[in-house]
């Protein structure tokens, strides 16, 4: 049975004091969780969040990293820098990076490779635009994004990769994919992993759903066979709501 992974994406929210406070509020909710709990926070919060998360079940991630080891890349952070800061996870290819910062499938692949080489675990985001869903090309778009992102990534690194299926039209909009839609595309992505690697790899890989997952809809989404967790933006900033999602994941894991 695959483990469920609940990850919060705080985006560009929370100053250092607020970040420490939020981790303290989440910690008791993660204490008895059977799922993994990760918070992906702004770079400037990483050290305070790592400190606040020490001796808790909460794991810490960043929201991006560069592909080069060092160099003239003003404003960027390398994977080695994150490792040195004690960080375990990094989100790569979030749709907001693709939409606002020119991230492409090729640079996503470069960043994934660099992160894995540095020893980070990757949360790789893929997902279609609303127009693409309406044109009926969701499967093609998500398959292509996964294939390019995983180019030259060996099978033994799949244990260090979580794929997050995030339909762009559902992120931050309050419009959630139905549980069936989420399950269908997570299943398509699983088949892509089977074709790129092997059936066993596909059975093992963790595939999250992200896009307006919240305290009300989490249980239904997490009950779907191909949905192994959630990447959660807005609701991850509300400790009570995030706690309900963690509890729903724990209940699902008990089944
Ligand atoms: C996200 O940021 O990855 C996300 C899914 O955001 P939200 O939950 O707010 O839609």
Q: Does residue 220 have a pLDDT over 90?
A: yes
**C-alpha angle 197-203-207 in degrees, rounded to nearest 5:** 95
Say which residue the tokens 């635009």 belong to: 129
pTM attached to this predicted model: 0.98
**C-alpha angle 251-254-255 in degrees, rounded to nearest 5:** 95
By percentage, how much of the chain surpasses pLDDT 90?
97
Q: Please indicate whether residue 213, judged by its CB atom, sits closer than 6 Å to ligand 1.
A: yes
pLDDT by residue (tens digit) across 4-15? 999 999 999 999
Cite the active site residues.
Answer: 94, 166
Structure tokens at 175: 């419009």
pLDDT by residue (tens digit) across 180-195? 999 999 999 999 999 9
* Helix pair 16-31, 46-53: axis angle to 10 deg: 30
Number of the ligand 1 atom closest to the C-alpha atom of 96: 2
Q: Please indicate whether residue 212, judged by its CB atom, sits closer than 6 Å to ligand 1.
A: yes
Q: Does residue 216 have a pLDDT over 90?
A: yes
Q: Please indicate whether residue 211, judged by its CB atom, sits closer than 6 Å to ligand 1.
A: yes
CA of 166 to the centre of ligand 1 (A): 8
Structure tokens at 137: 């090309």
Q: Thinking of the domain 5-254, which architecture would CATH place it in?
A: Alpha-Beta Barrel (3.20)
- Residue 177, exposed/middle/buried by CB under 10 A (0-12, 13-18, 19+)? buried
Q: What is the pLDDT of residue 209?
A: 98
CA of 238 to the centre of ligand 1 (A): 13
By percentage, how much of the chain surpasses pLDDT 70?
100
CA of 49 to the centre of ligand 1 (A): 20
CA of 106 to the centre of ligand 1 (A): 23
Q: Please indicate whether residue 234, judged by its CB atom, sits closer than 6 Å to ligand 1.
A: yes
Q: Does residue 174 have a pLDDT over 90?
A: no
Q: What is the mean pLDDT of the chain?
A: 97
Tell me the domain boundaries of the chain.
5-254
Q: What is the pLDDT of residue 176?
A: 86
Q: Does residue 53 have a pLDDT over 90?
A: yes
Q: Please indicate whether residue 222, judged by its CB atom, sits closer than 6 Å to ligand 1.
A: no
Q: How many whole angstroms separate alpha carbon 222 and alpha carbon 208? A: 9
Phi and psi for 90 in degrees, rounded to 5? -145, 135
Tell me which of 6, 9, 92 to substitute to probe ligand 1's pocket, judged by most ligand atoms within 8 Å of the beta carbon.
9
Q: What is the pLDDT of residue 172?
A: 87
Q: Does residue 1 have a pLDDT over 90?
A: no
pLDDT by residue (tens digit) across 81-114? 999 999 999 999 999 999 999 999 999 999 999 9
What residues does 207 pair with on adjacent strands?
163
Binned at pLDDT 50, 70 and 90, residue 175 comes out as: confident
């Amino acid at each position: 049975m695959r483990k469920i992974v609940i990850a919060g994406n705080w985006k560009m929210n929370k100053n250092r004091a607020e970040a420490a406070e939020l981790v303290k509020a989440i910690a008791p909710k993660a204490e008895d969780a059977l799922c993994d709990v990760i918070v992906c926070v702004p770079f400037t919060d990483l050290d305070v969040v790592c400190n606040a998360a020490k001796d808790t079940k909460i794991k810490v991630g960043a929201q991006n990293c560069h592909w080069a080891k060092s160099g003239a890349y003003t404003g960027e952070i390398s994977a080695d820098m994150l490792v040195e800061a004690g960080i375990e996870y990094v989100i790569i290819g979030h749709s907001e990076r693709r939409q606002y910062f020119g991230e492409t499938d090729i640079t996503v692949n470069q960043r994934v490779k660099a992160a894995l080489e540095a020893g980070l675990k990757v949360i790789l985001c893929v997902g279609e635009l609303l127009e693409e869903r309406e044109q009926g090309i969701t499967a093609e778009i998500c398959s292509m994004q996964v294939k390019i992102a995983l180019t030259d990534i060996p099978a033994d690194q799949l244990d260090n990769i979580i794929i997050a299926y995030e339909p762009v039209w559902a992120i931050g909009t309050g419009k959630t994919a139905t549980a069936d839609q989420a399950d269908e595309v997570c299943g398509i992505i699983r088949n892509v992993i089977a074709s790129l690697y092997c059936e066993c790899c596909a059975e093992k890989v963790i595939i999250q759903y992200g896009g307006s997952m919240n305290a009300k809809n989490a249980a239904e989404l997490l009950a779907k066979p191909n949905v192994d967790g959630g990447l959660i933006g807005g609701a991850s900033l509300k400790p009570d709501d995030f706690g309900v999602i963690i509890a729903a994941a724990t209940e699902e894991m008990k089944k």
